């Protein structure tokens, strides 16, 4: 059943710059979109209950926190296309909420969403009443969605930290209390604007938590040359972002004769010392997520999707695609976690029967410039800045995407003056990391800190430079921000940068469709946030004090 109330505009692919209403550009169908809307509504409801429990001095169990985190993550762009899986999450959340409600002493001020419950046959009808358009005021709607998407990105980062045994009750409590506040019609635009910036604050906190989880578990990333070629063995290609999944896969494939290749955002796994001991972790295969349908078909082997950035798989290789965690797609086998572990035997046995990968390219990529590596050569960097060898740092982190307009970032990187250095993280780097942009006195002109999950490194590097140069304001550094965005983790990063006081951020290839004209005006006037134009004009504008 189609609905006029289906609207999704959370990613940069929003149809016509306004939003998808019949089917998502991502491939998400209307019934899946509506079920995600209902899941968000139910998440807000259970969050109102957990917030009340905390107010009454009653602790919320980690499994409840993790339920909320996983639910949010499942609604992020290109993560879960499986209607049945989403329905089960709604049912599970309602059952959990009912048990929590029984523990609440004072229920009189709880919102309707906290009390609501129903059976599966009525879910779709309810979903049509609680989507984005349920908020009539355009500016309030815009701010609510900005915060919601910030929380989705926060949940993605938190999920990865949880997978490694790291958690933070303050972050969980904030996320849930904020979700509950999004049900409060008494909050003004100013209230929600403040809440958006506070979401940025906790965005910084959750990225710091994930950085700690990753580095304490796998070591600090090292400068590494990653191979791009293939061998003659059958192989498994792992995509997404989850390092714990990769670790388990490598342990279980060791000695089996099956190679493992990373894809997309898993490339930076090669930078971590702990993964270097696995000799069957061969290298990286392919590019960013939007090229999956071509590259996965040529891989010939088994593919494991660990997180968002799944393109609907073609029939020609769908039987070799496995999902896990927050990811799901109809017809793809899903690997569940049991007692903290995942059994990848089905992937390994199937991989043994597959042909070796078709080689896409040869050569290597250099990366691993996370904060500790940059700090190790800080004196060299500072001297290069003081001598004028490095005139400007350009942060080009974020997401890649399918729009032809994103070729702008390749041309922008190539057109930058030779005494500028690009700081990057996320799959945006695939637009230029394979270009030969050279170095400055041995310092590569593209410094890759890692995944979009590693954007924290870029913030820490900026704060370190601010301290080294004795500045009182980040905006006085010779740094400009030209960020490509696609999905909700990029929204979290944007809010985190705004919280840190960074101004004049350029965001492309398009401004978010969920920002109303008035909210866009606030970002422009208060923070200098703006879009992109042409390569020539933007370089001239960004290098104004060059």
Looking at the DSSP bridge assignments, the partners of residue 365 are 226
39 or 5: whose pLDDT is higher?
Answer: 39
HSE-CB for 231 with a 13 A CA cutoff:
16
Give pairs for 140-144: CB < 8 Å, separation 24+: 140/189, 140/192, 141/516, 142/514, 142/515, 142/516, 142/518, 142/519, 143/189, 143/192, 143/193, 143/195, 143/196, 143/519, 144/182, 144/192
Dump pLDDT digits (tens) for 314-335.
999 999 999 999 999 999 999 9
Q: Band of the pLDDT at 378, cuts 50, 70, 90? A: confident
Q: What's residue 448's pLDDT?
A: 95
Question: Does 134 score more than 80 pLDDT?
Answer: yes
Dump pLDDT digits (tens) for 476-531.
999 999 999 999 999 999 999 999 999 999 999 999 999 999 999 999 999 999 99
Identical topology for domains 15-216 and 224-351: no
Task: Tell me whether residue 69 is exposed, middle or buried, using C-beta atoms within 10 angstroms of its C-beta: 0 to 12, 13 to 18, 19 or more.
Answer: buried
Question: Does 387 score more than 70 pLDDT?
Answer: yes
Q: What's residue 379's pLDDT?
A: 87
Q: Band of the pLDDT at 377, cuts 50, 70, 90? A: confident
Q: Band of the pLDDT at 545, cuts 50, 70, 90? A: low
Task: Tell me whether residue 510 is exposed, middle or buried, using C-beta atoms within 10 angstroms of its C-beta: 0 to 12, 13 to 18, 19 or more.
Answer: middle
Question: Does 461 score more than 70 pLDDT?
Answer: yes
Dump pLDDT digits (tens) for 116-130.
999 999 999 999 999
Q: What's residue 1's pLDDT?
A: 36
When pLDDT is averaged across residues 20-40 and rounded to a whole number, the result is 96
Domain 224-351 grouped into CATH 3.40.50.2030 = yes
> How much helix, strand and coil, in percent to the nearest 5, is found in the chain?
50, 15, 35
Dump pLDDT digits (tens) for 232-265.
999 999 999 999 999 999 999 999 999 999 999 9
Domain boundaries, the chain: 15-216, 224-351, 375-542
Q: What's residue 38's pLDDT?
A: 98
How far is residue 232's CA from residue 223's CA, in Å, rounded to a whole number? Answer: 27
- Counted residue by residue, the chain has a size of 546
Q: What's residue 2's pLDDT?
A: 42
Least confident of 142-151, 411-420, 537-546: 537-546
**Residue 540 CB partners (closer than 8 Å, separation 6+):** none
Dump pLDDT digits (tens) for 60-96.
999 999 999 999 999 999 999 999 999 999 999 999 9
Fold of 375-542: Rossmann fold (3.40.50)
Question: Does 4 score more than 60 pLDDT?
Answer: no
CB contact burial 86-99 (16+ within 10 A = b; e otherwise)? bbebbbebbebbee
Which option is the CATH number for 15-216: 1.20.1270.20, 1.20.1260.10, 3.40.720.10, 3.30.70.20? 1.20.1270.20
When pLDDT is averaged across residues 337-349 and rounded to a whole number, the result is 96
Q: What's residue 464's pLDDT?
A: 87
Q: Any idea what the Cα angle at residue 103 is, between residues 100 and 104, rounded to 5°? A: 95
Q: What's residue 3's pLDDT?
A: 47
Q: What's residue 5's pLDDT?
A: 62
When pLDDT is averaged across residues 14-37 and rounded to a whole number, the result is 95
Q: What's residue 382's pLDDT?
A: 87
């Amino acid at each position: 059943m189609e609905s006029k109330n289906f609207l999704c505009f959370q990613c940069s692919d929003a149809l016509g710059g306004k939003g998808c209403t019949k089917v998502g550009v991502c491939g998400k169908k209307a019934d899946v979109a509506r079920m995600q809307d209902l899941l968000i509504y139910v998440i807000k409801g259970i969050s109102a209950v957990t917030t009340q429990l905390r107010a009454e001095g009653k602790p919320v169990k980690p499994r409840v926190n993790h339920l909320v985190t996983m639910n949010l993550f499942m609604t992020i762009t290109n993560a879960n296309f499986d209607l049945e899986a989403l329905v089960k999450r709604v049912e599970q959340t309602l059952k959990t909420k009912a048990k929590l409600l029984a523990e609440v002493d004072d229920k009189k001020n709880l919102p309707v969403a906290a009390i609501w419950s129903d059976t599966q046959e009525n879910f779709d009808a309810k979903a049509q009443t609680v989507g984005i358009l349920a908020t009539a005021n355009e500016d309030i709607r815009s701010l609510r969605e900005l915060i919601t998407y910030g929380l989705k990105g926060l949940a993605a980062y938190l999920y990865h930290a949880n997978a490694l045994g790291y958690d933070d009750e303050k972050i969980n409590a904030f996320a849930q209390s904020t979700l509950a506040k999004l049900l409060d019609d008494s909050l003004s635009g100013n209230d929600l604007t403040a809440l958006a910036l506070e979401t940025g604050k906790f965005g910084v906190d959750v990225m710091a938590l994930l950085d700690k989880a990753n580095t304490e578990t796998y070591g600090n990333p090292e400068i590494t040359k990653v191979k791009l070629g293939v061998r003659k063995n059958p192989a498994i290609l792992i995509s997404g972002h989850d390092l714990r999944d990769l670790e388990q896969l490598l342990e279980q494939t060791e000695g089996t004769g099956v190679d493992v290749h990373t894809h997309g955002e898993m490339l930076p796994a090669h930078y971590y010392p702990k993964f270097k001991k696995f000799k069957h972790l061969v290298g990286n295969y392919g590019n960013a997520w939007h090229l999956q349908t071509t590259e996965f078909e040529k891989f010939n082997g088994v593919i494991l999707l660990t997180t968002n950035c799944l393109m609907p798989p073609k029939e020609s290789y769908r039987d070799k695609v496995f999902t896990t965690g927050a990811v799901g797609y109809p017809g793809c086998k899903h690997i569940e976690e049991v007692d903290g572990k995942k059994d990848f035997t089905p992937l390994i046995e199937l991989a043994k029967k597959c042909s070796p990968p078709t080689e896409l390219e040869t050569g290597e990529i250099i990366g691993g410039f996370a904060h500790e590596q940059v700090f190790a050569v800080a004196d060299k960097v500072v001297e290069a800045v003081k001598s004028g060898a490095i005139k400007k740092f350009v942060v080009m982190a974020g997401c890649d995407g399918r729009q032809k307009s994103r070729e702008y970032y390749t041309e922008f990187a190539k057109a930058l003056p030779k005494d500028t250095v690009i700081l990057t993280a996320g799959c945006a780097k695939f637009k230029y990391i394979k270009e030969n942009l050279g170095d400055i006195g041995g310092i590569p002109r593209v410094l890759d800190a890692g995944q979009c999950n590693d954007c924290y490194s870029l913030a820490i590097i900026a704060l370190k430079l601010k301290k080294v140069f004795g500045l009182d304001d980040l905006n006085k550094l010779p740094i400009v921000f030209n960020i490509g965005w696609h999905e909700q983790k990029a929204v979290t990063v944007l809010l985190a940068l705004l919280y840190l006081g960074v101004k004049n951020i350029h965001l492309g290839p398009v401004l978010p469709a969920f920002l109303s004209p008035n909210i866009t005006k606030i970002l422009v006037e208060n923070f200098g946030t703006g879009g992109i134009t042409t390569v020539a004009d933007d370089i001239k504008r960004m290098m104004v004090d060059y």
